[in-house]
């Protein structure tokens, strides 16, 4: 079960809440991602308890959860949004440093700013849309800031591939950076070589359906060019049209693809981290799904 993590989003309960630390599924690591706001002391107390219990941890994107909800966007043209994103990233790196988490992973970014909806999806503001190249340059600038902070703490950074679907378009124009392999490759060449990739297979399926490329060809190119820079895999299923964050079924192409990444060294040389990123799964189903991941991975 080494290198297999369950996102905090998988649990129906708030894993940071007092007394909830013993409710995790035993034998698996925990990726901290989003959730309800808690005080710095409450977060520290929960992570200290997991450290005591020897639960491996990772830190991703919206952690620690901000008190005032916003959409993290390193490619934002709005200085306030960009500033809040950098502050959140720096807070995440402080947590990584304090609890010996080797890297922090975050979304690449969006071509428009957005507001989060109650259902967990975004509504983009067309007035804030900017061309791809401008958004990409802003991402490079802000990612470098977080990278420099990470280096000072002895940590590393990772970025996540993104996706498009009909619901995410902004007045018919695309909303996300980093959807195709060519876009990924440009980013790999524009960030420090010590930074890595979080490959989200659910996002990859959405992007492939929208842009019309083959998932297998993308993975072939990725492994041929950047196998040593893949730190993490996210797995969750969807209908190809929406990022639904569903648990995978046994026939999922994502489970079949996992074996292709077994020889990647990962961030620390002990393999890629595999993370289930489904949302609020009943405990019995979570146990079954984690077992399926273990079978496919091992």
Comparing C-alpha atoms, which of 131, 150, 148, 151 is closest to residue 75? 131
DSSP-assigned letters across all residues of 185-241: HHHHHHS-TT-EEEEEHHHHHHHHHHHT--HHHHHHHHHHHHGGGEEEEEE-B--SS
pLDDT digits (tens, 9 = 90+) for 25-40: 999 999 999 999 999 9
Q: Which residue has the higher pLDDT, 114 or 98?
A: 98
Average pLDDT, the chain: 95
pLDDT tops 70 at residue 13: yes
pLDDT tops 90 at residue 284: yes
Structural domains in the chain?
Answer: 4-297 (3.20.20.150)
pLDDT tops 90 at residue 241: no
pLDDT band at residue 119, thresholds of 50, 70 and 90? confident
pLDDT digits (tens, 9 = 90+) for 40-86: 999 999 999 999 999 999 999 999 999 998 999 999 999 999 999 99
pTM for the model: 0.96
pLDDT band at residue 117, thresholds of 50, 70 and 90? confident
DSSP lists the bridge partners of residue 233 as 199, 274
* From 119-128, 170-179, 258-267, 281-290, the region with the lowest mean pLDDT: 119-128
pLDDT tops 50 at residue 1: no
């Amino acid at each position: 079960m080494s290198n297999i993590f369950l996102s905090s989003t998988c649990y129906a309960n708030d894993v940071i809440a007092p007394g909830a630390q013993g409710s995790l599924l035993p034998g698996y690591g925990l990726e901290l991602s989003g959730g309800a706001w808690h005080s710095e002391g409450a977060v520290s107390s929960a992570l200290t308890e997991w450290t005591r219990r020897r639960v491996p941890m990772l830190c991703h994107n919206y952690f620690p959860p901000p008190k005032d909800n916003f959409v993290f966007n390193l490619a934002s043209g709005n200085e306030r949004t960009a500033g809040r994103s950098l502050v959140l990233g720096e807070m995440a790196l402080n947590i990584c440093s304090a609890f010996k988490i080797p890297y922090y992973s975050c979304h690449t970014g969006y071509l428009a700013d957005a507001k989060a909806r109650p259902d967990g999806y975004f509504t983009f503001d067309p007035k804030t849309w900017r061309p791809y190249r401008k958004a990409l340059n802003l991402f490079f600038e802000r990612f470098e800031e977080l990278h420099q902070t990470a280096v000072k703490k002895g940590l590393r950074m990772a970025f996540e591939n993104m996706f498009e679907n009909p619901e995410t378009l902004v007045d018919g124009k695309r909303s996300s950076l980093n959807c195709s392999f060519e876009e990924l490759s440009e980013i790999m060449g524009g960030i420090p070589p010590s930074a890595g990739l979080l490959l989200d297979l659910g996002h990859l399926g959405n992007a492939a359906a929208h842009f019309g490329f083959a998932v297998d060809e993308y993975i072939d190119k990725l492994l041929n060019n950047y196998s040593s820079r893949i730190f993490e895999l996210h797995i969750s299923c969807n209908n190809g049209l929406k990022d639904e964050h569903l648990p995978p079924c046994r026939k999922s192409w994502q489970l079949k693809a996992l074996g292709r990444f077994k020889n990647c060294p990962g961030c620390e040389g002990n393999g890629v981290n595999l993370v289930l990123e489904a949302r609020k799964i009943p405990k019995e189903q979570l146990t079954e799904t984690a077992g399926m991941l273990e079978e496919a991975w091992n």
